[in-house]
Chain A
Amino acid sequence: MYKYSDFDEAFVRQRNAQFRQQVERRVSGALTEEEFRPLRLMNGLYLQLHAYMLRVAIPYGTLSSAQMRQLALIAERWDKGYGHFTTRQNIQFNWPKLTDVPDMLDALGDVGMHAIQTSGNTIRNVTADHFAGAAADEIEDPRPTAELIRQWSTDHPEFQFLPRKFKIGVTGSPNDRAVTRSHDIGLRIVRGSGGRTGYEVLVGGGLGRTPMVAQVIRPFLKKADLLPYLEAIVSTYNLMGRRDNKYKARIKITVFENGMEKFRDAVDARFEQVKREFTGVDPAILAKIEHSFAPPAFRSAPGGGYETARKADPVFRAWTETNLVEHRAPGHAIVTVSLKAHGATPGDASAAQMRLLADLADKYSHGELRISHEQNVVLPHVHKSDLWALHAALKTQGLATANIGLVSDIIACPGMDYCALATARSIPIAQGIATHFKAIGLEEEIGALKIKISGCINACGHHHVGHIGILGLDRAGVENYQITLGGDHTENLTLGERAGPGFAYDEVVPAIERLLRAYLALRDDKAETFLEAYRRLGAEPFKAALYPAEAARDAA
């Protein structure tokens, strides 16, 4: 894993010392809130509905066991004993006191972490495939690229006041688990002619108020050209992007309004200029970073009773069927630890859970953990002979739920339980769906399904790309939920279609049940997933299930 250089360390320490003084000046009254607000946002500190919230960057979703342990300590010492893992692979602490935040930032600095650029109109924390460096289908580990971008974009003097926030996602696998097509810039590591790897560069994706699928701006970019090309895109956007209207300020609107051809020409012209200013130091740095992401020494050992345990224990077997993914190294598995126990808050982990995960990472996964954008924790490198013991240990802290990819593995933003921007709650909707489908025993029968819930139009909960998306709105002073169908978050990114009028808060779970019972009745066989059935049959039969009164009237 990448370790902070002396430069990184000194920079973070200096920023923390500055922020400590800024907090002191705010408390003394020397700074007004108007003056202080941009300073706190630059350091990831928001003021939410009930309290401050500190958003900590987890670059490309990778954590060491020591870092996870420190997050547990922070949660316990300065928060209410838990943290919330987000859809951008960050962690949010929901209850810090303003005067404690400098100490929290110092504690993060002790383990090479910070909250810089987790807010504001800058290049945000770079996200990546949560199975990076472990997945069997991977062309190349995307994290060295993401780390290079982190170093280039952190405190980049030209890009601190962009028209709007800017998000970059990287995948090294053709099976896109990083939702690159929903990013301002998406990078896909691809193999070019002659077998050399480079990047397919996508631009102009985004969810939110105006969802758009990113388009290819450059089918193949040489690795050595990455930073000058990114610099060209972002500086072109910095000038061409709109600043007159916040809702039209993202690069997706810049590309849409100008057209890809014009935008590409402007980027290419800028690239020619910028390229000369890059002296080639960046490929050298990339090579050094790549070295620090060298895979651990995977052990070559027999399965050690794994198959026997699967046969003997149906609970363990069910967990292995849902929570494991094929690893590149023989005899190993990628383990996804569900933070979606039925009825729990999606993405929340207690300090005790974080400590256990850190210990288990040390014991079974070469000290590494990942946070997925689907708000689960990944132990990327587990030998199959350790899975039985790992599963038993996970059970002790309620972390052995066998539901990855099922109806209860729901993405949900914090919604109006925490967020000042939210228009409705998300968390209790997710809890309601998860507990209901467990109670009626249909979860396994329904199979693969992605439900994604956002508590406002900004779409932190990725509702547009859920097979079933739920968007919470305020309709005349009452919570109301719109349902979208047919979204897809993968390399075939598809935006779901709105099914019809919204549902009241307590109508959502029954509506989802009608929808999924219709799917069970309509599918060809158990192998046909909800999304496949939707694509085969179209929206109509599903709309009829959601709105039975309208369907009956139309039929009359």
Chain B
Amino acid sequence: MSRAFTPKVVTANALIEGDVVYLTADDRWTRDHAEAELIEDEAHAQLRLLRADRQRDIVVGAYLADARQGAGGPEPVHFREAFRTRGPSNYPHGKQEAGHV
């Protein structure tokens, strides 16, 4: 039996601002992790990543990050991804400043 697939979101950095973005089910890039498409199928995840990779004028460095379903939408699993949803812990800068969290 193959290992169960951990659900994923597609994430990247915006080309101009550099801030963290997520791919939505309707093909937008959102700053809000909860709006991301939670991908539960490995083959679909690869297709979505390819789609992100083709948008090189909008984003940089797309990759698949582990996520899980939360009360308000997808949530990050790893602490690194949790920090990426907010911004640094020493100043209220980044997404927390923009009111996305």
A→B interface (CB under 8 Å)? 26-29, 32-33, 47-52, 80, 94-99, 345, 348, 416-418, 425, 427-428, 431, 474, 477-479
Contacts and interface: CB of A to CB of B under 8 A. Distances in A.
A40 to B, nearest CB: 10
Q: Which secondary structure dominates chain B's binding surface?
A: loop
Q: Which 10 A-B pairs have the closest CB atoms?
A: A417-B88, A51-B18, A52-B18, A29-B57, A50-B94, A345-B90, A427-B90, A98-B16, A33-B60, A428-B89
A33 B93 CA distance: 26
A428 B89 CA distance: 7
Interface string B51-71: 000001100110000000000
Nearest to B80: A416
A97 B14 CA distance: 10
A478 B16 CA distance: 31
Given A417-B88, A428-B90, A99 B61 contact: no
B90 A29 contact: no
Contact of A416 (B60, B77, B83, B93): B83
Interface of B: 13, 15-20, 56-57, 60-61, 77-80, 83-84, 87-91, 93-95
Contacts of A49: 20, 80, 83-84
A59 B87 CA distance: 30
A36 to B, nearest CB: 9
A47 B88 contact: no
A98 B15 contact: yes
Given A416-B83, A477-B78, A51 B90 contact: no
Nearest to A80: B93
Contact of B20 (A27, A50, A99, A425): A50
Given A95-B93, A97-B16, 10 more contacts: A29-B57, A47-B60, A47-B61, A48-B18, A50-B20, A50-B87, A97-B17, A98-B17, A99-B16, A417-B90
Contact of B77 (A99, A348, A431, A477): A477
A27 B15 contact: yes
A427 B84 CA distance: 16
B91 to A, nearest CB: 8
Contacts of A95: 93
Contacts of A47: 13, 18, 60-61
Contact of B18 (A98, A417, A478): A98
Nearest to A343: B90
8 contacts: A27-B57, A50-B95, A51-B94, A80-B93, A96-B18, A416-B79, A417-B83, A428-B89
A303 B74 CA distance: 66
A431 B13 contact: no
Contacts of B15: 26-27, 98
A47 B88 CA distance: 15
Contact of B16 (A27, A50, A94, A427): A27
Given A29-B57, A32-B56, A95-B93, A418 B18 contact: no
B89 A417 contact: yes
A207 B95 CA distance: 34
Contacts of A94: 88, 93
B77 to A, nearest CB: 7
B17 A51 contact: yes
Contacts of B61: 33, 47
A29 B16 CA distance: 12
A414 to B, nearest CB: 8
A425 B89 contact: yes
Given A33-B56, A50-B20, A95-B93, A479 B79 contact: yes
Contacts of B17: 51, 97-98
A101 to B, nearest CB: 10
A50 B83 CA distance: 9
Contacts of B90: 345, 348, 417, 427-428, 431
A95 B87 CA distance: 11
A177 B16 CA distance: 40
Contacts of A348: 90
A97 B13 CA distance: 12
A477 B89 contact: no
Contacts of A26: 15
Contacts of A477: 77-79
Contacts of B84: 49-50
A315 B50 CA distance: 62
A427 B93 CA distance: 15
A415 to B, nearest CB: 9
A478 B89 contact: no
Contacts of B83: 49, 416-417, 425
A50 B88 contact: yes
A474 B80 CA distance: 9
Nearest to A100: B16
Contacts of A428: 89-90
